[in-house]
Structure 1
Amino acid sequence: LVPRRTKYRKAQKGRTPLALGGSLKGTTLEWGDYGLRVNEAVRLSAKHLEVAEAALKRGLKPIRGSKVYMRVFPDIPVCIKGNETRMGKGKGTFEFWACRQMGRVIFEIGGPNLRPEMAHAVMRLAAAKLPCTSEVIDKSSVARLG
């Protein structure tokens, strides 16, 4: 998961957003029947997303016609300086791609033969791969404010 091109090679650190209310954008399902919503402010790396997506696909393999939708994309370059490096001499080198999320749906799954208990089990597998708390939602779940 890498952007094709970016305007700048390096980005400022930025902060994960706080839950102050406001927009409901991205907190409900768009395409699938079940989703995984992040409950806290977190920086997810491309590796986290790839591993979680692989777990979802592995769990859904026996179910014919099932599909995985990824709602987020890692587009922030993270740069890190080495350990025990003195201050100065510029910003560190590029390390990995990441995205900052708070209360958003990051994965959705859907399909004609997808049973609720199977969907919840598969989503729990993917949630275990992520460095944050998350919840499984469905079409009847309400939007999350903040």
Structure 2
Amino acid sequence: MALMPKRVKHRKEQRGRVKGNATRGIQVSFGDWGLQVLEPGHIRGTTIEACRIAATQYVRGEGKLYIRIFPNKPVTARPLETRMGTGKGEPDHWVAVVRPGKILFELAGVSEEAARECFARVAYKLPLKVRLVGRTIKV
């Protein structure tokens, strides 16, 4: 089952542009290792679910996975071979809007090599460039 909100204020939204860098959610907060996105864009709810399954299958109960994004923006689509001028299409899928610097997933309780291998499998499923980041300790 793909991720989607329980209810929304507006059923259809405009697409908009993803400008600037992320200001929130840019540090590893929950785990020891994080997967940081380097490009702006949208990530589908089905993609997030596929990444979750790939990560949990690799970790196999040794570590804990944290998902830091949620798809809350509807994207509409028109049926194929439809003539012009019949209005906006119906909501087709849900996406999470991500800006560069946002932490997508976090892992706790695993070594760096295990986190690197796990996030390599996750990155293969993502449509954007990502990198592995570690937790920075603040004093």
Q: Does 1:83 align with 2:85?
A: no
Return the alpha-carbon distance in structure 2 between the equivalents of residues 5 and 62 of structure 1: 32
TM-score by length of 2: 0.89
Q: Does 1:140 align with 2:139?
A: no
Q: How does 1:1-146 map to 2 (within 5 A)?
A: 1-19=3-21, 24-61=23-60, 63=62, 66-103=63-100, 104-111=102-109, 114-140=110-136
Return the alpha-carbon distance in structure 2 between the equivalents of residues 17 and 84 of structure 1: 33
* Segment of structure 1 superposing worse, 126-135 or 24-33: 24-33
Identity of aligned residues (%): 32
- Kept in 1, the 8 Å contact 2:28–2:136? The answer is no
TM-score by length of 1: 0.85
How many residue pairs end up in the alignment? 134
- Show structure 1 runs of 5+ residues with no match: 142-146
Instruction: Write the letter of the residue equivalent to 1:53.
Output: R
2:12 aligned counterpart, secondary structure: coil
- Show structure 2 runs of 5+ residues with no match: none
- Kept in 2, the 8 Å contact 1:67–1:110? The answer is yes
Measured against aligned partners, the alpha-carbon deviations of 1:48-105 in whole angstroms (never above 9, x if no partner) come to 1000111110110052xx1111111000011011234332221101100101101210
* Segment of structure 1 superposing worse, 47-56 or 81-90: 81-90
Return the alpha-carbon distance in structure 2 between the equivalents of residues 45 and 122 of structure 1: 20
1:77 aligned counterpart, secondary structure: strand
1:128 aligned counterpart, secondary structure: helix
Measured against aligned partners, the alpha-carbon deviations of 1:106-134 in whole angstroms (never above 9, x if no partner) come to 100102xx111111110111011101110
What RMSD over aligned residues (CA atoms) do the two structures have, in Å?
1.6
